[in-house]
């Protein structure tokens, strides 16, 4: 039997008395792209942090790329790339220095080639030796993608990557993701904006109050259908937030 | 092998970043200098004896206060842009983050001490050249102890809502043995006493260093994990 | 949970505590002889020393609870550690109040930087920081984990703090020796102290038990609140 790229069973996370996640089941095969929609505070970041080994679940099983989260933290971390709305970049270092730093931390072979490759991928080759401090928000986010790709992870976790990006940068990010998606990578993207990332996804899920309340194939699903489902589960009061 | 590469990678990026901004070193050094000057105002003009009695204490107040300033800043930098998460995502034992930050802080504190010490000798009219070897030993052992618990507490403080504010409150009570041992042994050495006389203090510093380096290395993971 | 357990425990603990406290009061104020040189003020000894004992016992329990919490990640150990830390701070406060009261007529000053009192003062500061850490951590589990680390470090630090303060006061550092102790206490004083120690230990157990149960009820209330949302 083939091992799914990402598997979560009965995953829960409590913060004291608060149930941030209750009974999450996920199954993604290699190369699939899942978008998780949900309002703020639904548990999206918590879910990503658990999958990325930044947070321990209260209970449940998580396997990423065939490795159990509880046992093989190290082997698993090599296969995960995380892009969040925070860049994880050092602002007083150049793009090149940042990438070289993370590359060394992952023990990447042929690091120089890799750095050239990912910089080209995100279109920042010309600004390789500029301090990250001098970058625009959009450029920082692109470099953040390069950072997440430096060790060629097979699983990409994107937590609200569109936050704070202007129109141009948003389009650029979508284009980049589309290219990444063509590869063998398995991707989970979280967002609170319905339209974003949808055209890239194979599946879409809605997360509300720590539960996945809706899961559907994107093929044949219209934005209007999705909107109806979303507001039915989330509640009308959120309609303004998301538009 | 991979361990030392990663350890050095973290220290190196902190050094490069610091060489560019010089914000840690300059603020620590100027603060240490200010402490020397302010305390000199507080205790002088006084007799030569009073000066000799107060000098070691003043020196260590300068070093530890400046040290706390630098320790707090070093982790605050990792919290900007959530870089600490980027570090935690990297494969391998997370104790390496502690060790690298500890060694970095040791370097910064050491650099400040090396520059401050001659100024101290001038301001307080003490001869440090003949006692330099013993003084170096005291500085080394004390700074290790202070920076070990300091690095761990800085990681804690940076993760709280109050950020750096909590650091001195956590650090100074726990570091009491280091501070007392450092002040007392520095005083003895300044009086020209032999090293054998301060052996118990050095033993205490050494035990503190070993015990807390081990505990901090092991518990660091619990401090940064969410 | 809770209620049955509590009654069973209370059935013997509360009366035992009450009786031992009466006995301790009697022993301290009536049975124990008046000390020849210090006079009646020495009777504070029967409260001062047991308070110190309870404080150290409490911090030792914090230490154990902290290790178990980090290891097992079970909220029960965290409740034990934090409850015990609260009681420990309470009793260190008592030590720090009764010490100077005793010291004033004997040494002539309220505070003389006596090694044991000074160590207690520093401990008090460490465990006050313990609660500040919990309060400012933002999220409870994170605060509990960080506090547990401090609970371990703080307790391991105790012997080093004590030794450093002891050596700091004496001109030359002394090798560690078991103190031969002053002149042995007369049996009646020793007996009174033992009764007092027993009463204070029972008081600690009683307070700890109540505090732990209170915290569990707190958790249940929080859980119910969450459910209602």
Mean pLDDT of the region A22-42? 88
| Helical (H) or strand (E) element with B169 | helix B166-174
| Helical (H) or strand (E) element with C80 | helix C75-107
Q: pLDDT tens-digit profile of C146-195?
A: 999 999 999 999 999 999 988 887 654 444 434 445 556 778 888 889 99
Mean pLDDT of the region C103-116? 84
Q: Provide the pLDDT for residue A58.
A: 87
Q: pLDDT tens-digit profile of C189-224?
A: 888 899 999 999 999 999 999 999 999 999 889 888
Mean pLDDT of the region C66-89? 95
Distance in angstroms (rounded) separating the CA atoms of residues C162 and C153: 15
Of A16, A19, A56, the CB nearest to C140: A16
pLDDT averaged over chain C? 86
Burial class (CB in 10 A: 0-12, 13-18, 19+), B27: middle
pLDDT at B183 over 90: yes
DSSP C166-204: HHHHSSSPPPP-----SSPPPHHHHHHHHHHHHHHHHHH
Chain C contact set for A15 (CB, 8 A) = 139-141
Calculate the dihedral angle through the C-alpha atoms of C195, C197, C199, C202, rounding to the nearest 10 degrees: -140
| Tokens matching residue A199 | 């055209």
Q: Provide the pLDDT for residue A238.
A: 54
pLDDT at B8 over 60: yes
Paired strand residues for A81: A156
Mean pLDDT of the region C33-48? 84
Distance in angstroms (rounded) separating the CA atoms of residues C23 and C5: 27
- Helix B95-123 to helix B199-224 angle, to the nearest 10 degrees? 140
Q: Provide the pLDDT for residue A236.
A: 58
Distance in angstroms (rounded) separating the CA atoms of residues B134 and B120: 16
Q: pLDDT tens-digit profile of A198-243?
A: 778 888 888 888 888 888 888 777 778 888 888 888 775 555 444 4
Question: What contacts A83, CB < 8 A, 6 or more positions away?
Answer: A141, A144, A145, A148, A156, A157, A158, A159, A161
Of C73, C141, C219, the CB nearest to A15: C141
Percent pLDDT > 90 in chain A is: 26
Dihedral pair phi/psi, residue C14, rounded to 5°: -65, -50
DSSP B13-72: HHHHHHHHH-HHHHHHHHHHHHHHHHHHHHH-S--HHHHHHHHHHHHHHHHHHHHHHHHH
Please count the other Cβ atoms lying within 10 Å of the Cβ belonging to residue A158: 25
- Helix C45-72 to helix C75-107 angle, to the nearest 10 degrees? 160
Give the mutation candidate from C70, C96, C157 for the B interface (greatest B CB count, under 10 A).
C157
Question: What contacts A154, CB < 8 A, 6 or more positions away?
Answer: A5, A30, A65, A79, A184, A185, A186
Of A52, A75, A90, the CB nearest to B13: A90
Shortest CA distance to B54 belongs to which of B63, B66, B68, B42? B42
Strands A6-15 and A18-28: antiparallel
Beta-carbon separation of A16 and C225 below 8 A: no
CB B201 within 8 A of CB C167: yes
Residues of C with CB under 8 A from a CB of B: 70, 122-123, 125-126, 129, 132-133, 136-139, 142, 145-146, 148-150, 152-154, 156-157, 160-161, 163-165, 167-168, 172-175
Residues of B with CB under 8 A from a CB of A: 2, 5-6, 9-10, 12-13, 16-17, 20-21, 77, 80-83, 85-92, 225-226
Dihedral pair phi/psi, residue A9, rounded to 5°: -130, 125
- On whether any CB of chain B is under 8 Å from the CB of A126, the answer is no
Please count the other Cβ atoms lying within 10 Å of the Cβ belonging to residue C145: 25
pLDDT at A131 over 50: yes
Rank A1-10, A66-75, C46-55 by mean pLDDT and report only the highest: C46-55
The CATH number of the domain covering residues in A1-79+156-161+193-243: 3.40.50.300
Give the mutation candidate from A12, A14, A16, A46 for the C interface (greatest C CB count, under 10 A).
A16
- Chain A (5-64) residues lying within 8 Å, Cβ to Cβ, of chain B: 49, 52-56
Band (pLDDT 50/70/90 cuts) for residue B33 is very high
Q: Alpha carbon of A203 to those of A33, A172, A218, A242: distances in Å?
A: 6, 22, 5, 20
| Helical (H) or strand (E) element with A64 | strand A59-64
Residue range of the domain that includes B45:
2-224
Band (pLDDT 50/70/90 cuts) for residue C5 is low
Q: Is C82 left (phi over 0), alpha (psi -120 to 50) or beta?
A: alpha
Q: What is the total count of domains within chain B? A: 1
Dihedral pair phi/psi, residue A60, rounded to 5°: 110, 170
| Helical (H) or strand (E) element with A9 | strand A6-15
Question: For residue A131, what is the DSSP state?
Answer: B
Query: What is the separation of C-alpha C102 from the centre of its chain, rounded to a whole number of angstroms?
Result: 19
Tell me the three-class secondary structure of B107-129, residue by residue: HHHHHHHHHHHHHHHHHCCCCCC
Distance in angstroms (rounded) separating the CA atoms of residues B37 and B40: 5
Distance in angstroms (rounded) separating the CA atoms of residues A33 and A12: 22
Mean pLDDT of the region B160-174? 91
Give the mutation candidate from B173, B197, B216, B221 for the C interface (greatest C CB count, under 10 A).
B173
Question: What contacts C95, CB < 8 A, 6 or more positions away?
Answer: C48, C51, C52, C55, C117, C120
Beta-carbon separation of A17 and C225 below 8 A: yes
Dihedral pair phi/psi, residue A2, rounded to 5°: -80, 140
């Amino acid at each position: 039997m083939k091992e799914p790229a990402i598997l979560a069973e009965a995953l829960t996370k409590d913060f004291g008395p608060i149930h941030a996640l209750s009974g999450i089941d996920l199954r993604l095969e290699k190369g699939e792209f899942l978008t998780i929609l949900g309002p703020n505070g639904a548990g999206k970041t918590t879910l990503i942090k658990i999958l990325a080994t930044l947070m321990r679940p209260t209970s449940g099983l998580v396997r990423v790329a065939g490795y159990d989260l509880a046992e093989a933290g190290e082997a698993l971390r090599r296969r995960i790339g995380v892009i969040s709305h925070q860049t994880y970049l050092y602002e007083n270092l150049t793009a090149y220095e940042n990438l070289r730093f993370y590359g060394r931390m992952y023990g990447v072979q042929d690091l120089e080639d890799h750095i050239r490759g990912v910089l080209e991928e995100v279109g920042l080759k010309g600004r390789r030796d500029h301090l990250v401090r001098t970058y625009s928000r959009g450029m920082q986010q692109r470099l953040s993608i390069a950072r997440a790709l430096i060790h060629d992870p097979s699983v990409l976790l994107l937590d609200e990557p569109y936050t704070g990006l202007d129109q141009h940068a948003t389009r650029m990010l979508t284009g980049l993701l589309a290219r990444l998606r063509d590869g063998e990578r398995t991707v989970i993207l979280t967002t609170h904006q319905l339209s974003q990332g949808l055209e890239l996804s194979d599946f879409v899920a809605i997360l509300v109050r720590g539960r996945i309340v809706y899961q559907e194939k994107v093929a044949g699903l219209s934005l209007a259908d999705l909107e109806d489902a979303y507001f039915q589960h989330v509640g009308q009061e959120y309609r303004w937030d998301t538009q | 092998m991979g361990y030392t590469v990663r350890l050095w990678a973290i220290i190196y990026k902190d050094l490069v970043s610091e060489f560019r901004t010089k914000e840690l070193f300059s603020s620590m050094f100027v603060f240490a200098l200010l402490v020397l000057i302010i305390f000199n105002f507080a205790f002088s003009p006084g007799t030569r004896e009073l000066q000799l009695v107060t000098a070691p204490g003043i020196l260590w107040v300068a070093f530890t206060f400046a040290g706390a300033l630098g320790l707090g800043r070093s982790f605050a930098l990792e919290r900007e842009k959530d870089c600490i998460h980027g570090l935690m995502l990297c494969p391998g034992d997370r104790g390496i983050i502690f060790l690298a930050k500890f060694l970095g802080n040791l370097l910064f504190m050491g650099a400040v001490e090396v520059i401050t010490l001659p100024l101290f000798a001038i301001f307080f009219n003490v001869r440090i050249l003949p006692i330099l070897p013993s003084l170096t030993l005291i500085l080394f052992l004390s700074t290790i102890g202070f920076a070990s618990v300091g690095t761990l507490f800085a990681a804690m403080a940076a993760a709280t809502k109050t950020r750096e504010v909590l650091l001195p409150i956590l650090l100074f009570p726990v570091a009491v043995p280091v501070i007392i041992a450092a002040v007392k042994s520095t005083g003895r050495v300044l009086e020209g006493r032999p090293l054998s006389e301060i052996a118990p203090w050095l033993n205490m510093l050494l035990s503190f260093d070993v015990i807390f380096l081990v505990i901090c290395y092991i518990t660091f993971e619990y401090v940064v994990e969410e | 949970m809770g209620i049955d357990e509590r009654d069973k425990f209370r059935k013997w603990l509360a009366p035992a505590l009450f009786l031992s406290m009466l006995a301790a009061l009697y022993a301290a104020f009536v049975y124990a002889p008046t000390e020849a040189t210090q006079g009646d003020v020495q009777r504070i000894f029967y409260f001062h020393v047991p308070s110190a004992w309870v404080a150290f016992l409490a911090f030792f329990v914090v230490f154990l609870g902290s290790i178990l919490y980090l290891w097992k990640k079970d909220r029960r150990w965290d409740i034990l550690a934090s409850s015990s830390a609260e009681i420990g701070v309470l009793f260190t406060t008592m030590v720090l109040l009764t010490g100077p009261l005793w010291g004033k007529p004997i040494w002539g000053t309220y505070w003389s930087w006596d090694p044991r009192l000074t160590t207690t003062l520093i401990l008090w500061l460490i465990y006050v920081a313990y609660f500040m850490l919990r309060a400012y951590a933002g999220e409870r589990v994170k605060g509990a984990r960080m506090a547990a680390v401090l609970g371990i470090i703080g307790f391991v630090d105790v012997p080093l703090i004590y030794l450093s303060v002891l050596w700091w006061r004496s001109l030359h550092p002394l090798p560690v020796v078991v103190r031969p102790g002053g002149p042995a206490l007369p049996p009646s004083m020793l007996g009174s102290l033992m009764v007092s120690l027993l009463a204070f230990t029972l008081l600690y157990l009683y307070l700890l038990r109540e505090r732990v149960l209170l915290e569990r009820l707190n958790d249940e209330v929080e859980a119910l609140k969450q459910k209602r949302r």
